[in-house]
Structure 1
Amino acid sequence: MSVEVTNKKQKPSMSVMLRRLIVVIFVPMSIVIAVLIGLLCWNAFQYRTILHNVTAASAFNQDFKSDVDLKMFYYVSDSAYADGKPTEEVEKARELAERLLEQTTEKDSIDSIESVRDLCITLETRMEEVDNAETYDEGMTQLENNIYILTDLIQTYMYDYLYYESVHLSELQEEITTQVEYILIGTVALFIIVVFLIIFYVAKTTEAITSPLTKLAGRVNDITKGDFEPKTPVDAAPAEIQTLSDGFEEMVGKLNTLIQENKRAERRKRHAELELLQAQINPHFLYNTLDTIIWLIEADKKEESIKMVSDLSDFFRFCLSRGKDIISLQEEEKHVLSYLAIQKTRYQDRMDYQVNIPESLYGYSVPKLTLQPLVENSIYHGIKLQREKGSIKVEAVDLDDRIELVVKDNGAGMTEERLQEMRAAIVNGEKIGFGLRTVHERMQLLFGEEYGLTISSTEGVGTTITVVIPKQKHDEKGIINV
């Protein structure tokens, strides 16, 4: 019985399903972590930049105006305290403004620091123009109308820059705090969603694995209860379980077929044994034997009649063999000897026989009623058909792992055509040559096709029938042991 194997789209393997589970768990978490790290890094960068600007601007000389104004006053008035123009102070203020301008992003702060830079440049120009003053009064006028005003503006714009950057820093702190709150809320929400997704996917994956396994376990339980009828394989998502289910149902199908074949073979074997048993108790044989016994009694041959009754009793007792199918070769020898003794009494001087079975083979098994049908065939189709005295020889040959049982007669033999018919009948199970066919069929049913019966014959010379069986120790329970 064939089993339909599921032929659906490619099923994922368990390793693929586990990798998907890992992706479902780690990819969303990795994205969340990456976004959090990115936002925190960006805010930290902005915060550090503004803080750096404020710190750098704080380095601006708080006494810039007073120092520059005083030095310029000493310079213009040609005082003994004069130490040249404050060129270095103004240059440092300008360079500071240029550095801050490169790192500033807010418009108000940019406007303020640009003004500081431009005013420093203008101040440097006005400081050079002071040297062109021809009189003290002209120099003091330039000092009051240019220098003092410019230094005041520079200091004012620098303080404005500090104010704007401080305000922006405070706003950024509030923004970061708000973002952190939103990030925390979003992270918690996303984490909850991811957890639910993970739980859902894990449950789905677990169900995809455990459900078909549970069904498969149920099928195994059915098998243990004797249900060998193949079923449709379990539809499983993991490819490994699908393969296991397909293979299991295919195995069950083959096992069921084998069981049915064994049942049919057992029925054929029982039928063959029954036919053989019926053949041994056929009315003609029984009638002829009893008729011979009566004749012996009437002839006042008491001992011969008693022996024949005893032989007949032994014959039927061995036919039954206490219900055993397999007997020892020694028992089979006794059975065929009782049969030959009966036939010898009937045919008197027309036949002779010899049984040669080594005692070393007595303890080995043989299916009962193996030799008797072969001997019967030799008598009725060989010895009986000729006028001369016939001879039947029964022997067993040890072939290491096999035993060869041979029944040979010097009867009428068969033509080549008749021999081929007999051989075909034995192989094909035809009615011709009933006893031989049944023996051959039983041997093959019990031991395999390499065992069985072969026949050779020459017309006018005789017939040889050979049965080959495996060499197996006999069990008294009628069970074959290797």
Structure 2
Amino acid sequence: MKRNTTLRKRLMLYFLIVMLLPLFVFLSFYLISGDRTIMHILTEQASLLIDSDAQAAASVVEKYRHKSYQAAQDALIQSMLESGEKPERTITSLYHIMEGDTYLASLTIWRKDGMMMTSTHNPSSSGNEWDTIRKILPENREWIVTIDGERNENGHQIAFTIVRRIRVDGEIAGYAVINVYSGAITPLLDGGGFFSDLLLIDKERGKAASLMKPQSFYDIYHDNGNNIVTRPIAGTNLMITGTISRTGLENSLREIVIYIIISLSAGFMLSLILTLLFSRSISRSFSLLSSGMKQFEKGDFSTALSTTGISEFDELSRTFNSMVKQIEVLIAREREEEAKAAEAERKALESQLNPHFLFNTLSTIKALAHLHGEEEISIIATKLGKLLRYSINNHSPDATIKESLELAESYLMIQKIRFGERLEYSINCPDELLSFSTPRLLIQPLAENAVTHGLEGKTGDWKIEIKVKKYGANLSIIVEDNGTGFDASQDFKTLAEEGHTGLYNIKRRLELRYGNEFSFMLDSAPGKGTKAIIIIPYGKEA
């Protein structure tokens, strides 16, 4: 027989396992392979960072190598070197090549005889720079990237220098020298917060410059292979090296281990207390849920679960209470629909009249009016007949935009004859939308509502505008009047109780057809007029 255990006991056991297992695993790992694993992890992380930093440095080198090439190919610079003259517009050409990077690097043009022709900066040691050019650039190479030791320029540390020959008609005419400052590289490096130092090294000249410690240069660099990761910078004789400091890390790790052990021990004791309190609150919440559901099962729809202070159980309580309310609403709605159906049937039976008699009577009125020259009466009879025929004979729940607009126009034409020049109306709809299908009786009731509730109580001219248009994936139907307006902040059910039954009926038909994929808005205020806006999916016909 399977033995049942209480939820409280299970929670106690699970909490103990969760607290003890990490402590056991951590201590075992640290005692068996802590130091070796830590160093391995550090090395892997250092390798990833140095790879990223090498790529960043290579991108900077390539950027300024290309600028040196632009300078060497610049016709104005070549002309200056050939003629020996220094036109002022040459400096403009230099700044154009550097593209605003003069706070990150400098560009200097030297003639082959050692004369500095022009520069974006004022070099502080022009003689030393010329000596460097002559020493480092081999005869068989057109350009080189180098580190020239401890050099600063205008307050900036020079990280590396690019030297490129400038040839005119195949002969050496001068040199383009770009000094790239540390500020062009250091913001792009990812390892600045990990390594104790990052060095940029010239392997050929044995020079090194620190990218993390300004003013730090080394005449000779040797890699002893201990706690160092190195990567070459593609396309150059440079490499970038990161040094890993173990001392501070090891001390920090020991402190972390002590803190972890203390924290886990304290957490172990605290978990015993919290488990007891938590399991008690869980049991109480389950009891409340179970009690409420049993009452609902017995048919008590007034049941409402109270909150427990635990979000998950409170969510269950809210969902349960919402479900009970929805069931109550559905039952009430079903009863209301049954009552409405019975009332509609009663009214239909009371008002039943032979439609042929109505149409024949209207035809007689139309003929007599035409016979006596009463064109307005003839028009009214025609339009009224169309309204009655649409209401009585059309049993389809759908109608095209064209049919809905014709019905609205028939109604407005009758009102136009009734009120004369006082009433003006306009109907606008693109031809391509006329065949689109929607639920019946959307537009005419809006026009009727505008006349009955908006215009009849207003002095002066009356205007009604009906617009149908498409934007994006939606179709909009707008009926706007300049009537007296009303308080549109009320919900549709309240408006129906105050006489705006047509608006409520339209909203219900839209809900039944489109669910939540429609919008029916009323923009109105007393004395402002009213704009009714219906937005439905254009691709989803009725």
TM-score category, normalised to shorter length = 0.3 to 0.5
TM-score by length of 2: 0.33
Structure of greater Rg: 1
TM-score by length of 1: 0.37
Bigger relative contact order, structure 1 or 2 (CA pairs below 8 A, ≥6 apart) = 1
Give the strand-richer structure, 1 or 2: 2
Give the helix-richer structure, 1 or 2: 1
